[in-house]
Chains A and B, each alone.
Chain A
Amino acid sequence: MTEFFQSLGMTYEWAWFVATIAGILLIALPLMLAVAMIIYVDRKVWAAINLRRGPNVVGPFGLLQSFADGLKVFLQETIIPSAANKGLFLIAPIITFTVALIAWAVIPFNSGAVLADINVGLLYIFAVSSLGVYGVVISGWASNSKYPFFSSMRAAAQMISYEVSIGFIIVCVVLWADSFHLNTIIEAQRGHGLGFINGFIANPLLFPLFFMFFISALAETQRVPFDLTEAESELVAGYQTEYSSMSFALFWLGEYANILLMCALTAILFFGGWLPPFDWEPLYLVPGFVWFFLKIFFFFFCFSWVMATVPRYRYDQLMRLGWKVFLPLSLLFVAVISGWLMFTRYGGVA
């Protein structure tokens, strides 16, 4: 894009700056639009599985429902409880939303279509997504109210528990792709399975890790069946209880942006990102970002599907699954996969 702005007669520095800002807006604004639409999709899928209609009043098929909700919260009064720590109370939603946005800076939407082409992209996403826990903890503490406090405690313990196993699963994928660079990881999946399936999903050693990653992603984003932080019957609305107006909506938007990020990450790590599902020439005629968005949408549908069908876990079951099942299993897989690669790829028997 820099070349285009240079052709308009700008110097290289200015052209680069304008192109970068345009790129950022091209990610951030459609992302917010996508979040608004995906909330609508979530409600529609949920309703369809429950044999209800779902939102159908605002706009054709209720398509404008999210925007009506957005306008409503925007015009609401912002209530700051008198007992709250006001500064921290207002900073918490800012942290949540900012962190949810900036993780998208390194996501490749097509071959070469990436804003910041850093060589440790996966590490950056891992680091940024673990910052999300601060927004939750700060909001629970600053609200100075019982339910948000308990909820943020639960949320923090839950998020860090599953982050550990996500970290080990990421190590396994990185071992196979031999890189943290997201586009290299995607390229490594070209024709990976039986010579024609694009994606690590066709790899028998990485296949179980996909399921562990998907379930960990549900827990990390506090979706059903792991939504103990917002268990309505126990904790009202969790750490968002004291929030109103746009501060409340920012948690909501951040949560869904994180869910989309996890869907994108699943697509990149196990399903070949912007590659078509099969290494077959006519499929490459469809632009890469279309495949990428289709994959994200499919995984989001799975998230909605799980939400509508699976009952909620108890907290002890959640912790048991994280620490006693996923952690030992993912550690084992790191050992097995690295050992297998040592034998088959790096020199064989010493």
Chain B
Amino acid sequence: MVDLSQYLPILLFLGIAVVLSTAFVFLPMGVSRLTGSHKPDAEKLSEYECGFPAFEDSRGRFDVRFYLVAISFIIFDLEASFLFPWAVSLEYTGWTGWGAMMVFLAILGLGLAYEWKKGALDWE
């Protein structure tokens, strides 16, 4: 049986952490207005570039391989989430459970090998 009352401290911790970090972000804004260090101007607020105005929109195209990494990540992270409950119940599932998971791992291993062969993991 899951003891949900143990999760309440985490929720409280989350609340305190959010309040603390929000205060850390917004408090200096107020302080800098009081001390007079808050003096924005157009040049200061422009985005960082090496001494000249930016040529184009910074949210340009990016390499498709980042996308491939994200897709592969979803597959293998999902696989890990299947492994977690299996890892603590090996005692009850016995050889059948172990064999089933090995078949699953083998299929994903094949997938990884295919991805590797196709060059999806190469960054030249």
Contact of A98 among B8, B17, B46, B90 (CB under 8 A): B17
The docked-state distance in angstroms from the alpha carbon of A175 to that of B93 is 13
| B59 proximity list for chain A (CB < 8 A) | 141, 144, 149
Contact of A75 among B7, B28, B80, B109 (CB under 8 A): B28
With an 8 Å Cβ cutoff, the count of chain B residues facing the other chain is 68
Q: Report A134-153 CB contacts with B as 1/0, cut-off 8 Å.
A: 00000001011111011001
Distance in Å from the Cβ of B81 to the closest Cβ of chain A? 8
Distance in Å from the Cβ of A32 to the closest Cβ of chain B? 9
| A149 proximity list for chain B (CB < 8 A) | 58-59, 62
Tell whether, in the assembled complex, residue B83 and residue A77 are in contact, meaning their CB atoms are under 8 Å apart: no
In the complex, how many residue pairs between chain A and chain B have their CB atoms under 8 Å apart? 221
* Residues 51-89 of A contacting B (Cβ, < 8 Å): 73-84
Does A206 interact with chain B (Cβ within 8 Å)?
no
Contact of B102 among A178, A335, A345 (CB under 8 A): A335
With an 8 Å Cβ cutoff, the count of chain A residues facing the other chain is 85
Contact of B98 among A160, A324, A339 (CB under 8 A): A339
Tell whether, in the assembled complex, residue A167 and residue B77 are in contact, meaning their CB atoms are under 8 Å apart: yes
Tell whether, in the assembled complex, residue A78 and residue B73 are in contact, meaning their CB atoms are under 8 Å apart: no
Does B52 interact with chain A (Cβ within 8 Å)?
no
Tell whether, in the assembled complex, residue A167 and residue B80 are in contact, meaning their CB atoms are under 8 Å apart: yes
| B77 proximity list for chain A (CB < 8 A) | 160, 163-164, 167
Tell whether, in the assembled complex, residue A28 and residue B90 are in contact, meaning their CB atoms are under 8 Å apart: no
Residue of B nearest to A328 (CB): B112
| B102 proximity list for chain A (CB < 8 A) | 335, 339
Tell whether, in the assembled complex, residue B45 and residue A178 are in contact, meaning their CB atoms are under 8 Å apart: no
The docked-state distance in angstroms from the alpha carbon of A160 to that of B76 is 10
The docked-state distance in angstroms from the alpha carbon of A102 to that of B13 is 6
| B112 proximity list for chain A (CB < 8 A) | 327-328, 331
Contact of B58 among A146, A167, A342 (CB under 8 A): A146
The docked-state distance in angstroms from the alpha carbon of A116 to that of B31 is 36
Contact of B80 among A24, A144, A168, A247 (CB under 8 A): A168
Distance in Å from the Cβ of A76 to the closest Cβ of chain B? 7
Tell whether, in the assembled complex, residue A236 and residue B48 are in contact, meaning their CB atoms are under 8 Å apart: yes
- A246-B10 contact, Cβ under 8 Å, with A94-B18, A335-B105: no
- A117-B73 contact, Cβ under 8 Å, with A75-B35, A145-B47, A171-B87: no
Residue of B nearest to A247 (CB): B25
- A94-B105 contact, Cβ under 8 Å, with A156-B66, A178-B91: no
| A242 proximity list for chain B (CB < 8 A) | 47-48
Tell whether, in the assembled complex, residue B9 and residue A250 are in contact, meaning their CB atoms are under 8 Å apart: no
| A39 proximity list for chain B (CB < 8 A) | none
Q: Report A161-180 CB contacts with B as 1/0, cut-off 8 Å.
A: 10110011001001100111
Tell whether, in the assembled complex, residue B37 and residue A144 are in contact, meaning their CB atoms are under 8 Å apart: no
The docked-state distance in angstroms from the alpha carbon of A157 to that of B5 is 36
Q: Report B38-57 CB contacts with A as 1/0, cut-off 8 Å.
A: 11101011111100001000
Given contacts A101-B13, A320-B121, A323-B121, 9 further A-B contacts (CB under 8 A): A105-B10, A116-B10, A119-B6, A168-B83, A171-B87, A175-B87, A245-B32, A342-B95, A342-B98
Q: Which residues of B contact A (CB under 8 A)?
A: 2-3, 6-10, 12-14, 16-18, 20-22, 24-29, 31-32, 35, 37-40, 42, 44-49, 54, 58-59, 62, 66, 69-70, 72-73, 76-77, 80, 83-84, 87-88, 90-91, 94-95, 98, 101-102, 105, 108-109, 112, 116, 121-124
24 A-B pairs in the complex with CB atoms less than 8 angstroms apart: A23-B9, A24-B9, A28-B20, A77-B37, A79-B45, A80-B45, A81-B48, A82-B45, A93-B21, A93-B25, A97-B17, A98-B21, A102-B13, A116-B9, A116-B13, A118-B6, A160-B77, A161-B73, A171-B83, A242-B47, A246-B27, A249-B24, A316-B123, A324-B116
